[in-house]
């Protein structure tokens, strides 16, 4: 027995050093185990109440050792006991069990006997007893969590972390529970709607802002072949954190020893206000993401409440991936403007019509432009050639001789060019403005006849007076 004790101590020391800490706050990605506080929220009815929470493992594979720290607010809680939860049955080593109540944290570690089958599944790691000492609330913050496999030395197991929350009075708590784009793949330049669901889990009506992000965060990422080093994004601070690995170049940024405090290619999609959300109520917001100028790639969508509430664990929700593709090569000619001048003429007069056309596609195009009054073609111009991305303004003359009196809508049309998609044909026709054509003036014969008669009468009267007046 005396000989085995040094071996056990050495083994415990090796395990404690080898279980390198790797943490990630939870997303919906399911392929990694999760260490979490259960229940996730606990409400005490009064101060002086004793209660217990469990630290649990879900979906573990090939697990041989666990270690964690748990922080709490000492003005609200006092930790009194840590008990083994039974994850490794009766064949286990209690590595660490420390309560540092003055500083507000505790430490616990446990591993299975060497040579025992590794644990697979879900179980309780430890049960912790607290006493509620004052009214208030606190996050039960799991940190420095370490999972290891049976290898010698143990290989760290990548995992998610989910904190708990305690309260015994009214509190502020906004939870973002979902973020979902209406499309998972779009071409750069297109817009998509991002729907965000928020719930008021607190006891007060709340007014706050929600911001939607699109991130290329590359997390989780295994940096070296051993799988021992990786970096992740923190759900509360939104900082990228890295296990110290020396200096490594990744993409367009450098990762140095220690913790990163930079964000990777983060795009703020938009911010939307929520006003007067009642306790227990939920609402869904829609934020539009215009992807013009966005680099192609896979973007992780997230949404965050900016309310500084009592429970920050659920202020951020990360879910859904949107792929931005480069714009497709297309054929697309559009008529963008039609201007007639003047807008009122007498039949027989000319109208000048200016037509602007644009090549919105990716290829040089040659096409025909036809101008219409109502549905009647006036004139066309053939062999119009435009390079991609350019536009031109054409001028047409409309001789209104023989056109009936009336008001006519002026339009221009370009027949679809070869390869033009159905969705791009809507802008091949453009109608704007009207021209009023008056009838040609016709001489009024009766008026001229009446005027002639009046003139004859006047002349006759003058002649009569001159000829027949009496001499004085």
Among 233-242, 301-310, 384-393, 412-421, the minimum mean pLDDT is found in 233-242
pLDDT of residue 66: 95
| Mean pLDDT for all residues in the chain | 82
Domain boundaries, the chain: 1-169, 333-438
pLDDT of residue 268: 87
| 46/242: higher pLDDT | 46
Longest dimension (CA), the chain: 173
CA distance 312 to 318: 14
Nearest one of 290, 324, 284 to 303, comparing CA atoms: 284
What residues does 58 pair with on adjacent strands? 34
CB-CB contact of 142 with 68 (8 Å): yes
Above 70 in pLDDT, residue 271? Answer: yes
pLDDT digits (tens, 9 = 90+) for 315-354: 888 777 899 998 878 899 999 999 999 999 999 999 999 9
Above 50 in pLDDT, residue 149? Answer: yes
Fold equal for 1-169 and 333-438:
yes
**CATH of the structural domain 333-438, one choice from 1.10.3720.10, 1.10.101.10, 3.20.19.10, 2.60.40.10:** 2.60.40.10
Q: How far is CA 335 from the centre of its chain?
A: 33
DSSP 57-122: EEEEEEE-EEEEEEE--TTTEEEEEEEE--TTTTSEEEEEEEEETTTTEEEEEEEEPTTSPPEEEE
pLDDT of residue 115: 86
Q: What are the distances in angstroms from CA 469 to CA 193, 457, 460, 461, 472?
A: 101, 18, 14, 11, 9
Arithmetic mean of pLDDT, 69-89: 96
What SS3 class is residue 125?
A: strand
Range from 4-13, 265-274, 392-401, 460-469 that averages highest in pLDDT = 392-401
CB-CB contact of 224 with 155 (8 Å): no
Above 50 in pLDDT, residue 243? Answer: no
Structure tokens at 244: 């110290």
User: What 8-state DSSP symbol labels residue 204?
Assistant: S
DSSP 360-371: -SSS-EEEEEEE
Arithmetic mean of pLDDT, 344-365: 95
| 24/152: higher pLDDT | 152
What SS3 class is residue 457?
A: helix
Range from 22-36, 264-278, 393-407 that averages highest in pLDDT = 393-407
CB-CB contact of 144 with 105 (8 Å): no
Prior bond of 218 cis (ω within 30°): no
pLDDT of residue 459: 81
* Band (442; pLDDT cuts 50, 70, 90): low
pLDDT of residue 358: 96
Structure tokens at 300: 């992780």
Among 59-68, 279-288, 407-416, 439-448, the minimum mean pLDDT is found in 439-448
Arithmetic mean of pLDDT, 220-234: 39
* Band (17; pLDDT cuts 50, 70, 90): very low
pLDDT digits (tens, 9 = 90+) for 18-65: 333 333 333 333 367 889 999 988 988 788 999 999 999 999 999 999
Question: With the CA atoms of 256, 259, 265 and 267 taken in that order, what torsion angle do they form, in degrees rounded to the nearest 10?
Answer: -160
What residues does 174 pair with on adjacent strands? 200
Domain 1-169 has CATH 2.60.40.680: yes
| 171/447: higher pLDDT | 171
CA distance 183 to 161: 29
Locate tokens 């009647």: which residue?
376
Strands 221-222 and 191-200: unpaired
pLDDT of residue 464: 73
What residues does 393 pair with on adjacent strands? 356
DSSP 25-42: ---S--SS-EEEEESSEE
| 46/220: higher pLDDT | 46
* Band (255; pLDDT cuts 50, 70, 90): very low
CA atoms within 13 A on the CB side of 148: 25
pLDDT digits (tens, 9 = 90+) for 106-119: 999 999 998 899 99
Structure tokens at 267: 């795009």
pLDDT of residue 19: 38
Q: Phi then psi for 400, rounded to 5 degrees?
A: -90, 10
Above 80 in pLDDT, residue 5? Answer: no
């Amino acid at each position: 027995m005396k000989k085995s004790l040094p071996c056990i101590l050495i083994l415990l020391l090796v395990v404690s050093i080898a279980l390198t800490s790797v943490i990630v706050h939870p997303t919906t990605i399911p392929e990694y185990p999760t260490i979490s506080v259960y229940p996730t929220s606990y409400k005490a009815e009064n101060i002086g109440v004793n209660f217990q929470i469990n630290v649990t493992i879900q979906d573990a594979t090939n697990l041989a050792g666990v270690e964690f720290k748990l922080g709490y607010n000492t003005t609200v809680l006092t930790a009194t006991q840590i008990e083994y939860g039974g994850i490794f049955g009766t064949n286990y080593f209690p590595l660490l069990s420390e309560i540092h109540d003055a500083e507000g944290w505790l430490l616990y570690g446990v591993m299975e006997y060497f040579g025992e089958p590794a644990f697979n599944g879900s179980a309780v790691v430890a049960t912790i007893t607290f006493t509620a000492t004052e009214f208030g609330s606190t996050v039960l913050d799991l940190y420095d969590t370490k999972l290891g496999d049976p290898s010698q030395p143990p290989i760290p197991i990548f995992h998610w972390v989910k904190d708990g929350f305690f309260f015994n009075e009214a509190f502020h708590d906004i939870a973002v529970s979902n973020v979902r784009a209406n499309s998972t793949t779009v071409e750069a330049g297109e817009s998509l709607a991002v729907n965000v669901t928020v719930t008021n889990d607190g006891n007060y009506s709340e007014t706050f802002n929600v911001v939607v992000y699109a991130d290329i965060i590359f997390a989780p990422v295994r940096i070296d072949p051993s799988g021992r080093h990786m970096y992740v994004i923190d759900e509360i601070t939104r900082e990228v954190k890295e296990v110290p690995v020396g200096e490594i170049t990744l993409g367009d940024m450098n990762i140095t020893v220690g913790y990163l405090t930079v964000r990777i290619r983060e795009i703020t999609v938009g911010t939307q206000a929520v006003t007067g959300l009642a306790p227990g109520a939920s609402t869904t917001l829609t934020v539009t993401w215009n992807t013009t100028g966005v680099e192609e790639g896979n973007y992780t969508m997230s949404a965050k409440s900016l309310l500084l509430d009592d429970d920050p664990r659920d202020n951020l929700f990360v879910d859904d991936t949107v792929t931005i593709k480069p714009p497709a090569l297309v054929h697309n000619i559009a008529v963008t403007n039609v201007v007639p001048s003047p807008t009122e003429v007498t039949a027989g007069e000319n109208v000048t019509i200016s037509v602007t056309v644009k090549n919105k596609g990716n290829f040089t195009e040659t096409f025909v432009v036809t101008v219409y009054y109502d549905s009647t073609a006036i004139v066309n111009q053939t062999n119009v050639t435009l390079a991609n991305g350019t536009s031109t303004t054409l001028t047409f003359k409309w001789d209104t001789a023989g056109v009936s009196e009336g008001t006519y809508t002026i339009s221009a049309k370009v027949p679809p060019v070869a390869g033009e998609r159905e969705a791009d044909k809507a802008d091949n026709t453009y109608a704007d403005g009207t021209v009023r054509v008056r009838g040609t003036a016709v001489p009024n014969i009766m008026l001229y006849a009446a005027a002639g008669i009046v003139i004859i009468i006047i002349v006759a009267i003058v002649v009569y007076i001159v000829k027949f007046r009496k001499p004085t």
